[in-house]
A and B are shown apart, each in its own frame.
Chain A
Amino acid sequence: MTVMEQRGAYRPAPPPAWQPRTDPAPLLPDERPYRVLGTEAAAKADPELLRRLYAQLVRGRRYNAQATALTKQGRLAVYPSSTGQEACEVAAALALEERDWLFPSYRDTLAVIARGVDPVEALTLLRGDWHTGYDPYAHRVAPLSTPLATQLPHAVGLAHAARLKGDDVVALAMVGDGGTSEGDFHEALNFAAVWQAPVVFLVQNNGFAISVPLAKQTAAPSLAHKAVGYGVPGRLVDGNDAAAVHEVLTDAVRHAREGGGPTLVEAVTYRIDAHTNADDATRYRGDTEIDAWRDHDPVLLLERELTDRGLLDEDTVRRAREDAETMAADLRARMNRDPELDPMHLFDQVYAETTSQLREQRALLRAELAAERQDQEGGAR
């Protein structure tokens, strides 16, 4: 035996071979976005659910049009439209039970009202009379979050707390494709996985973060694949197929409720309108691209399915449209009234107990307002 061979015999054993802690295969998303409408799976879908989704889509489309019109009339400061994404918005709300929580981003006012929040209250942020106009506890809807992805860890924490308290509550958090580049997206996924928190993350991949297309946002195989790195299942779904989004989200919510932990769902959709009314989308995309997506419109897809199967009678269509018009007329009427503003409320609820510094500043504002009134009265005389 040579010296080298002898040394070899005394070589310490190598550390145990690396083994994946979780088999990644079951976590992987489908290669193609899951679809129901226009496929064999549609036959299994509950006709009543499809009709309910349809009515909500029609209503949602009308809501987006009305809110966009209100910006043109100066009644809303800004409106990020979800036209083209109504299937995701509506399905997210409908997949949840009343006791569950929704964590929306700023583009998700449609999901917020589909959950039962009053449309005027949902729009105060965008009208500009107060940040969050609704009571988050009334319908279990967190405030609309403007800073991207920051609402995701909130959803994880809430779901975790509910589970600690023994409550049967699931949180569904919404984020866009751009938001998946944020650190909070990563941290939320990781915390949710480690804690096995009952959370569902819904990524609406609408192709653009304002003007930046997905190709400049990520090199991941898909956004759903991002889940795998955290030990979370990723699901890829056609975001314009309301039946498919509803099914995938309902499955994910059930899985979370049964203690299976979080799921990441990527819904592939398209933002038909510009980022907001203040954006000019012609600077970064062409009409042909938009036209292609118009043929894959969520309302159209569901309408076609229902019609082909003889599930959509004239009465249902008429009722859905009437309901949407009633909602729009009510929204128009109420948004056309000036909101009641009291500047003295600025100092309320900064702290549980107003500080002496804020009391001084409140007195200053009160004096300014009194002087303003006096000037106006003097001018009128």
Chain B
Amino acid sequence: MKTFGGPALFLDRSDINTDEIIPAKYLTENSKLALKPYILEDLKLPGFDPLADTKEAAVIVTRSNFGCGSSREHAVWVFEVNDINVVIGTSFARIFRQNMFNCGMLAIELSEDDIDALFSLGGNVTISVDIDKETITAKGKREMTCSFVLNSFDKALVQAGGWLAYADKKY
């Protein structure tokens, strides 16, 4: 199983799409590692510097419908190779969400109130994730803990290390 948690990167916009996460021109790479420098390259947010701001990050906190658009799993791999194994938002596009769990990574859905609270913690925020208890704890200037729901199949994928390992045993 992967490790989950660490410094958080806040992306304060809904509908961040796969082309912003990893532009199509990099889809000609045949290794996941080659994607590393291009993380969030086309995402334009005030003051956001993709390379500098993702350097320490291990968790992304965002708004709704994250990962909409293309089916490209590159949008998950580019996080994976940058050691970001958790994305937290109010909702995800279906294919992106499935790709996360298929890679043994976590797409965590929280209520709008909890996401608002995370965004207003202040300071440098570090987030830890307890998969068994289905809770996250975030520490910034203030601290908060909130719970999430992980469906049993998604949890099994994360514990198995992804869908291929799970499916190979079972089907």
The answer to whether A and B interact is no
